[in-house]
């Protein structure tokens, strides 16, 4: 495909390299957003999203909305919390600060539980915090894109359900959905929010969420209306059900919605039809294989990368192995080198890495994203190439990686 | 291009048919959203947006954000108005009701000035309303996609500036930007919001806005913070300036932002890189010719269509010629025929029209979108084909169009 020809290999923690077929779907001919062919595509995409997140509970509700991953925070803050309520934000880097800002925008009081750079809040501290105050919900960044720190969701959710069972468990999975295991039902998660352009492998422009039946119940029993218009689940819910004709339990609503369409359409806003076609292709590819094998492939590639960069003498921000994400590696530069000195050396050899994003240490580290086809497609040698040019790029700056 | 092969011609009032080159840009290889090539593309796209809206005032500020057209309402409601303030919403159909809902969500009091179906509020009534109460801003739907009613912006803005000069003039241009003339500076407009998938001719997924210097000043002197996080101009502004290195007056800010990028990136949320590449292609095509000729071509096609459907015995919702949009035609079905009876006849002949969207009369009318390449590309015969199959589709239902 000519659009893919000759370009630097993009190995930042999102957007990632996209498969040819996914990019081909981006140029799908124009479709009516309310016509049967697109409705079928959208419906199948919502169904596949359930499979990716391993939820078979019919009460779970998927949402796919035009927007950045950031929009998923507004969905949570404007729909699951109300003005004056308290939420607990677990901090592992840049993205917790921003999520907390988002809550404050809607008048929700966000308490952050912080860990030092490269670490994550520990369960006993979280337990203590949950016992001190009643929180409407708790948020955790599954993988913090700014630091490469992985949080453990299963044990965390068990803790919350044991200590503060009414607190909703909200997972920011922007940099984890598609490369880290998430068992939505089994782990009793209440909301996962993510974006298209990372491990799912679809170009940016989609905010993707899954809400549990319990979360939807909390939303439906709000005392005040949702605090946003574009990010109101109330506005999006009818169209998600309308586009979702494949679950038997929705049969009644669908009948209503189909009728609704003929008379009073369930339209809220025009969905991004091409992006949803591309997401359909990406999810079809992911689900054509085993999810467990996919997660294992990411773990194996990550181990290989982390072992190699360690052999180069580079230290990760996430020092403890259990804190290390499987879809990206954030590593300090040696010898006081700065990211703006190293990244151009790597680019001229055909690979794009990302600079730092944690404001205190941004210039001192670089980030290597290893998600999606760069890891899973055996025809690609992206990872080996990247490890090689990283070594060469450091060499250009006078650092000899052994 | 295979992705374009054999599909029904989409002639709804958006999404429209897209040019091959625009669709080709949708499958652009993956790019870093903060790398120089994409920054250049985004910057040029913002510059072209100024040209499309005919603003050369350096204080005007463009915004291109991942989202539906609807998001543009949140941008206005959450940034230009504050809780408790009053706004005047001119009503020409479905979209004014929704815009008013959006204001109410943010605690802004929206007064609607309504006209009967197919008509628009008249200037003397607007003058009266503006004299009765002080409004922070007034909104007008340039073309109401639900009714095909065109509003006159120039005279309206003159009236507002004369009678209530502090009231901001906000134009919902979702169904007008790219096919109806808009002189942002000359007409003293304060905000235009639109979407990508209508007359601009780029797939859906972009919320596109232009704010005047005066509007930005109102925003910057708010007493309360913006009422949304994802839709906060405060969050988006730095990244828009960052991506906008081509205007000399921004030289200082750009220097700050470039430095910022190296140390503390100006990142707020990942822009939809493929969609912005496609928008770049679409705007390049539009600006390669004369804007006035483009608007004239839409007027001529619209006249031809309206004359032909009138000859078929169909009446438009917008009866008065001065109320009729140039990029779409909304027409009542004859003989008590209903849209669900007629649209399938038309589809089986290869054309997709839209049903009604005005809740009181949805089944009684259909909508024909005639924007973009279907009008301007001489290699296409979309319009002639559509007029022919409309006649045949009515014939199938027993109505003989002469």
Tell me the pLDDT tens digit for each residue of A24-65. 999 999 999 988 899 889 989 999 999 999 999 999 999 999
DSSP letter assigned to residue A363: G
Domain count, chain A: 2
Q: Summarize pLDDT for A124-176 with one digit per residue, the tens.
A: 999 999 999 999 999 999 999 999 999 999 999 999 999 999 999 999 999 99
Provide the CATH number for the domain around residue B328: 3.90.1150.10
3-state helix, strand, coil split of chain A in percent (to 5) is 45, 15, 40
B1 located within any domain: no
HSE of B82 in the Cβ direction (CA atoms, 13 Å)?
A: 8
> Is the CB of A275 less than 8 angstroms away from the CB of B35?
no
Listed residues A287, A306, A335: the one ending a domain: A287
Element (H, E) at A141: strand A137-141
> Is the CB of A273 less than 8 angstroms away from the CB of B15?
yes
B2 located within any domain: no
> Is the CB of A230 less than 8 angstroms away from the CB of B231?
yes
A233-242 helix and A251-263 helix, angle to the nearest 10 degrees: 100
Q: Is the pLDDT of residue A98 over 80?
A: yes
- Stated length of chain A: 402
Q: Among candidates A371, A366, A380, which has minimal Cα distance to A147?
A: A366
> Is the CB of A340 less than 8 angstroms away from the CB of B269?
no
Cα separation, B17 vs B373, whole angstroms: 7
Q: Is the pLDDT of residue A240 over 80?
A: no
Kindly state the average pLDDT of the residues A188-209: 98
B151 located within any domain: yes
ipTM exceeds 0.90: yes
B88 located within any domain: yes
Q: Among candidates A26, A4, A8, which has minimal Cα distance to A282?
A: A26
Residue A379 Cα, gap to closest chain B Cα (Å)? 17
Q: Is the pLDDT of residue A83 over 50?
A: yes
B interface test, pick of A36, A108, A204, A382 with most B CB neighbours within 10 Å? A204
Q: Is the pLDDT of residue A244 over 80?
A: no
**Same domain assignment for residues A249 and A367:** no
Kindly state the average pLDDT of the residues B16-44: 94
Q: Which residues of A touch B1 (CB under 8 A)?
A: 27
Residue B63: predicted pLDDT = 93
φ and ψ at A333, to 5 degrees? Answer: -85, 145
Share of chain A above pLDDT 70, in %: 92
Cα separation, A77 vs B13, whole angstroms: 34
Kindly state the average pLDDT of the residues A66-92: 97
The two beta strands, B351-352 and B328-332, are unpaired
**Same domain assignment for residues B133 and B43:** yes
Residue A239: predicted pLDDT = 73
The band of B290, judged by pLDDT with boundaries at 50, 70 and 90, is very high
Cα separation, B110 vs B99, whole angstroms: 9
> Is the CB of B274 less than 8 angstroms away from the CB of A33?
no
Cα separation, A357 vs A362, whole angstroms: 5
Q: Which residues of A touch B264 (CB under 8 A)?
A: 359, 362
Looking at the partner chain, which of B15, B205, B340 has a beta carbon nearest the beta carbon of A30?
A: B15
Q: Do the Cβ atoms of A298 and A181 come closer than 8 Å? A: no
CB atoms closer than 10 angstroms to residue A30: 27
The band of B39, judged by pLDDT with boundaries at 50, 70 and 90, is confident
Residue of A nearest to B31 (CA): A10
CB atoms closer than 10 angstroms to residue A273: 25
Q: Summarize pLDDT for A12-34 with one digit per residue, the tens.
A: 999 999 999 999 999 999 999 98
Helices in B27-169 by DSSP H: which ranges? 36-52, 71-79, 94-105, 123-132, 153-163
The band of B164, judged by pLDDT with boundaries at 50, 70 and 90, is very high
Grouping H, G, I as helix, E, B as strand and the rest as coil, residue A351 is: strand
**Same domain assignment for residues A112 and A246:** yes
Question: Residue B363 burial (CB < 10 Å; 0-12/13-18/19+)?
Answer: middle
**Same domain assignment for residues B263 and B333:** no
List CB contacts of A311: < 8 A, sequence separation 6 or more: A401, A402
Residue B263: predicted pLDDT = 35
**Same domain assignment for residues B310 and B353:** yes
**Same domain assignment for residues A186 and A58:** yes
Looking at the partner chain, which of A23, A204, A270 has a beta carbon nearest the beta carbon of B15?
A: A270
For the ranges A241-255, B189-203, B372-386, which has the lowest average pLDDT? A241-255
Residue B10: predicted pLDDT = 98
**Same domain assignment for residues A176 and A93:** yes
- Stated length of chain B: 402
Residue A332 Cα, gap to closest chain B Cα (Å)? 15
The two beta strands, A61-66 and A206-211, are antiparallel
Mean pLDDT of the residues in chain A: 92
Q: Is the pLDDT of residue B289 over 80?
A: yes
A402 located within any domain: no
Full domain range(s) for residue A10: 2-16+291-396
Per-residue H/E/C for B329-352: EEEECCCCCCHHHHHHHHHCCCEE
The two beta strands, B149-150 and B143-144, are antiparallel
Q: Summarize pLDDT for B53-97 with one digit per residue, the tens.
A: 999 999 999 999 999 999 999 999 999 999 999 999 999 988 999
> Using alpha carbons only, what angle is made at residue B400 by residues B394 and B401, rounded to the nearest 5 degrees?
80
List CB contacts of A245: < 8 A, sequence separation 6 or more: A39, A40, A43, A254, A258
Residue with tokens 């590696």: A329
Listed residues B287, B307, B335: the one ending a domain: B287
Looking at the partner chain, which of A205, A228, A273 has a beta carbon nearest the beta carbon of B228?
A: A228
Residue B314: predicted pLDDT = 97
**Same domain assignment for residues A163 and A307:** no
> Is the CB of A7 less than 8 angstroms away from the CB of B29?
yes
Residue-wise over B46-72: b if at least 16 C-beta within 10 A, else e?
bbbbbebbebeeeebbbbbbbbbbbbb
Looking at the partner chain, which of B67, B265, B273 has a beta carbon nearest the beta carbon of A67?
A: B67
Q: Summarize pLDDT for B215-267 with one digit per residue, the tens.
A: 999 999 999 999 999 999 988 887 776 654 444 334 334 433 333 333 334 57
Tokens of A6: 């000759």
> Is the CB of B230 less than 8 angstroms away from the CB of A30?
no
Residue with tokens 């972009």: B206
Listed residues B266, B287, B308: the one ending a domain: B287
**Same domain assignment for residues A388 and A265:** no
Kindly state the average pLDDT of the residues A368-376: 98
């Amino acid at each position: 495909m000519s659009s893919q020809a000759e370009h630097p290999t993009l190995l930042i923690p999102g957007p990632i390299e996209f498969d040819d077929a996914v990019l081909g779907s981006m140029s799908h001919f124009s479709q009516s957003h309310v016509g049967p062919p697109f409705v079928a595509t959208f419906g199948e995409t919502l169904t596949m999203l359930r499979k990716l997140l391993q939820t078979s509970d019919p009460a779970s509700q998927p949402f796919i909305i035009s927007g950045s991953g950031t929009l998923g925070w507004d969905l949570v803050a404007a729909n699951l919390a109300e003005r004056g309520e308290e939420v607990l934000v677990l901090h592992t880097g840049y993205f917790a600060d921003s999520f907390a800002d988002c809550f404050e925008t809607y008048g929700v009081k966000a308490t952050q539980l912080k860990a030092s750079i490269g670490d994550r809040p520990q369960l006993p501290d979280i337990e203590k915090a949950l016992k001190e105050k009643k929180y409407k919900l708790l948020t955790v960044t599954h993988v913090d894109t700014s630091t490469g720190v992985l949080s453990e969701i299963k044990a965390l959710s068990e803790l919350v359900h044991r200590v503060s069972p009414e607190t909703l468990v909200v997972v920011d999975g922007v940099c984890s959905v598609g490369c880290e295991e998430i068992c939505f039902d089994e782990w009793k998660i209440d909301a996962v929010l993510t974006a298209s352009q990372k491990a799912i492998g679809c170009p940016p422009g989609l905010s993707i969420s899954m809400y549990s039946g319990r979360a939807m119940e909390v939303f439906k029993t709000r005392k005040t209306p949702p605090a946003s218009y574009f990010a109101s689940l109330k506005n999006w819910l009818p169209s998600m059900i309308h586009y979702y004709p494949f679950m038997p339990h929705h049969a009644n609503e669908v009948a209503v919605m189909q009728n609704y369409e003929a008379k009073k359409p369930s339209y809220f806003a025009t969905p991004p039809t091409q992006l949803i076609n591309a997401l359909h292709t990406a999810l079809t590819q992911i689900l054509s294989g085993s999810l467990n094998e996919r997660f294992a492939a990411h773990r194996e590639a990550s181990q290989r990368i982390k072992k190699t960069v360690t052999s180069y003498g580079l230290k990760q921000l996430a020092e403890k192995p259990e804190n290390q994400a499987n879809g990206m590696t954030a590593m300090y530069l040696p010898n006081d080198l700065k990211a703006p000195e190293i990244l151009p050396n790597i680019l001229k050899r055909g690979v794009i890495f990302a600079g730092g994003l944690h404001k205190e240490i941004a210039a001192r580290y670089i980030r290597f994203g290893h998600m999606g086809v760069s890891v899973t497609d055996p025809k690609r040698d992206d990872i080996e190439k990247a490890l090689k040019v990283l070594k060469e790029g450091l060499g250009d700056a006078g650092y000899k990686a052994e």
